[in-house]
Amino acid sequence: MTKHLREPIAPTLNGVRQPEVTFSSSATLNAQFWIEQFPWRPTAAWAVLAALLVIGFDWSLLRWQWRTIILLLVLADPLWGSIWRLAAGRDELLPLHTKGTPNPVWLPYLKPGSPAARLFDWNCVRAVPLLFRVGMPSLLLALVIAAAINWMAVWMTLGIFLASVLAWVVRRTFQGSAHLLHSLVTVTLPALLVLAVFPSSEDQARSTLPVLLIGLWTLHNWGEGRNLRSSADPWGLLLLGAAELGILSVLLFLQAPLWLAFLVLLWLPTWLAIYQGHSLRRFNFIWLATLLLSAWAVGQSG
């Protein structure tokens, strides 16, 4: 006899259907990790590695510093990334169970129609569950890990949260883009976090080079985001060109012509594709390579 498998029937009490008891989670805070896009592209984790390269990190000390580096990678990439992801709204998150969505929550100054609600394009049914069930746990966990590193990491984590809120307002209320904020979260703050934990050279001139290079990486990433949206974006082209000229100037200052030649060769296909009007999505790997190569060049030459 063939046995047919059927879905379990939810129990009822006095004719009322009761929620089914499941054993899907044993945690207080649930987390899901996944690779959404091609990993070989500029991201926060790669920015951390680039910052380690640019300060000339002594890799022989890795056996003593590996715990700190792991904390930096976990904080800057998945945890800060989970906070920033909220700026894109519910559609960018994995689906929440309908049974886990609470009833509308009243908050002071955020009643429907209030000025603050209009500024945030507030929806009490969808935004409040997103904020309290996803946003707050992500922020609290990131703050705990940041506190294990140093207080600068805590302040940077709060900065990530503010950037996410601002990006939400720009996107939802003003229908604008948040490419600059995305670059700050992806490149600037993760790289500066490394500098806050591992000091660079004591020489004043040399110690400013990592900060300068991080600023140029941010400009380049900002231009990348604009040109991925539209390859003919004049401001994006200006940002790309200014950042690349700045990086080349840094290498000229360090008298590293060999590194300069390699970077020029890597950048040429991008400009050729822009001239031909082609999409730049396949150049993410090249931009990542130039990020790491320029960091290694400055770290070795400094």
Least confident of 169-178, 208-217, 247-256: 169-178
What's residue 129's pLDDT?
A: 60
Residue 17 banded pLDDT, cuts 50, 70, 90? low
What's residue 156's pLDDT?
A: 97
> Contact 191/217 with Cβ under 8 angstroms?
yes
What's residue 101's pLDDT?
A: 45
> Contact 262/242 with Cβ under 8 angstroms?
no
Residues 140-149 have pLDDT tens digits of 999 999 999 9
Q: What is the Cα–Cα distance from 169 to 127, expressed in whole angstroms?
A: 13
Percentage with pLDDT > 70 across the chain: 74
Identity of the residue numbered 193: L
Residues 275-290 have pLDDT tens digits of 888 888 889 999 999 9
What's residue 229's pLDDT?
A: 83
What's residue 221's pLDDT?
A: 96
Least confident of 75-79, 106-110, 132-136, 164-168: 106-110
Q: Can you tell me the mean pLDDT for 240-267?
A: 92
Nearest 5°: phi and psi at 257?
-65, -30
Answer yes or no: is pLDDT of 67 > 70: yes
Answer yes or no: is pLDDT of 118 > 60: no
Q: How many residues does the chain have?
A: 302
Least confident of 98-112, 187-201, 256-270, 275-289: 98-112
Q: What is the Cα–Cα distance from 302 to 296, expressed in whole angstroms?
A: 10
When comparing pLDDT for 116 and 250, which is higher?
250
Least confident of 89-93, 106-110, 162-166, 184-188: 106-110
* H helices, E strands: number in the chain: 13, 2
Answer yes or no: is pLDDT of 92 > 70: no
Answer yes or no: is pLDDT of 47 > 50: yes
What's residue 119's pLDDT?
A: 47
Residues 152-190 have pLDDT tens digits of 999 999 999 999 989 888 877 767 788 999 999 999 999
